[in-house]
Amino acid sequence: MKRLIKASNYKLRKNSSIKIGAAATICVVILGFLLFYAALHILTGPMIEAAGGDETDLNAFDDIHLLDCAAIALSLMQVLAIVLAIVITLLISGERKNGVYALMAAKGYTRSQIYADKLYEACLVCLVLYVSYVAAALLIGGILWHGPIETDMVTGFIKIFFLMAFMYMAIAAIYLAVAMNVRNGGAAMAINLLLVLVLSTAVTAIDTGLFDGQIILRKWWIFSAIEQYAYLEITTKEIIISILNILIYGGAGIVAGGAVFAGTELK
């Protein structure tokens, strides 16, 4: 495994899809913030009132605070899920098509080792994109925000940062399971992009049904992170549910994907 990890690290450093994915993610964050900032400077109280809004005394950027910045950054987080799906599918399906797995098998690596290596790569890609996103959001948010940063905000951010990182890795495991086992690269891409949309809706619906909408959209971070970061505080219950989510989704992705891959003849 050490050789595989060493080789994977080298390959990912050279991979242009990851670089383009990270650049696209950062651009989306910057663009999102700039649009938000511009909108706030264009909008006036009477305009909002005319559009049916209540905020008639909005005074440009003075009225927004750090949480709004975080909210707008994270309202774009769906983009990260999509970019992640695209990059992982391109990377994994491309290798299958080129016969990399067959070559690895011919060089003595078992299916489990190959799958574990690809899981490592998917998680690494996920972390690179996620950290790019958060770093850009923090940087731009920091430039725009002039108010005080309190301890609660920082601890809340750290908790959410790690939980989200693991959640995205769980999602990456599901994307990987699809990309490793669907023979046609185009079909794998379509399935993974559909997963982003379908499952986010389905999970939200289940969530609403099970929990009576009390904690709707706040704990189910999978696939759609819209509105998640509108709050930087997080309860213990939410942390536990998040960890359970990570284990269930990530575990299901790894076990199902790995079992199918191990049981299929390489073509």
Partner 1 sequence: MAVFIHKDRFYFFLIPMGNRYFVLTPYFIRKDIFKQSRQWYTNKIAKHKRQRQILNCTVYTAFREVKGDEMGTVFSVSKISKQYGQQTVLKDVSFSLREREILGLTGGNGAGKTTLIRLITGVNQPDSGEIDIAGKTEDRYRKIGTLIERPAIYKDMSAIDNLRYYGKLLGLEDEKKKAEAEETYKALLEKAGLSGCGKKKAGRFSTGMKQRLGIAIALLGDVTCLILDEPFNGLDAAGISELRSLLLRLKEESVSILITSHQISELTQICDRYVILDQGRIVFEATHEELREQAGGDEKIESLIVKKLGGE
Residues 79-98 that bind partner 1 (CB under 8 A): 95, 98
CB 136 within 8 A of CB 30: yes
From 10-18, 123-131, 147-155, 218-226, give the range in contact with partner 1 by CB under 8 A.
Answer: 10-18
What gap in Å lies between CA 262 and CA 266, rounded to an integer? 9
CB 225 within 8 A of CB 78: yes
Taking CB under 8 A as the criterion, the residue among 54, 57, 212, 265 binding partner 1 is 265
CB 173 within 8 A of CB 253: yes
Taking CB under 8 A as the criterion, the residue among 16, 151, 214, 236 binding partner 1 is 16
Residue 183 in the binding site for partner 1 (CB under 8 A): no
CB 242 within 8 A of CB 219: yes
Residues 100-119 that bind partner 1 (CB under 8 A): 100, 102-108
What gap in Å lies between CA 126 and CA 165, rounded to an integer? 8
Taking CB under 8 A as the criterion, the residue among 3, 41, 146, 183 binding partner 1 is 3
Question: Which CB sits closer to partner 1, 52 or 263?
Answer: 263
Can you read off the two tokens belonging to residue 197? 């949309």
Give the dihedral of Cα atoms 261, 262, 265, 267; nearest 10 deg: 40
Residue 65 in the binding site for partner 1 (CB under 8 A): no
**Least distance between partner 1 and beta carbon 38 (Å):** 36
Q: Which stretches of the chain bind partner 1, using CB under 8 A?
A: 3-4, 6-7, 10-11, 14-17, 95, 98-100, 102-108, 265-266
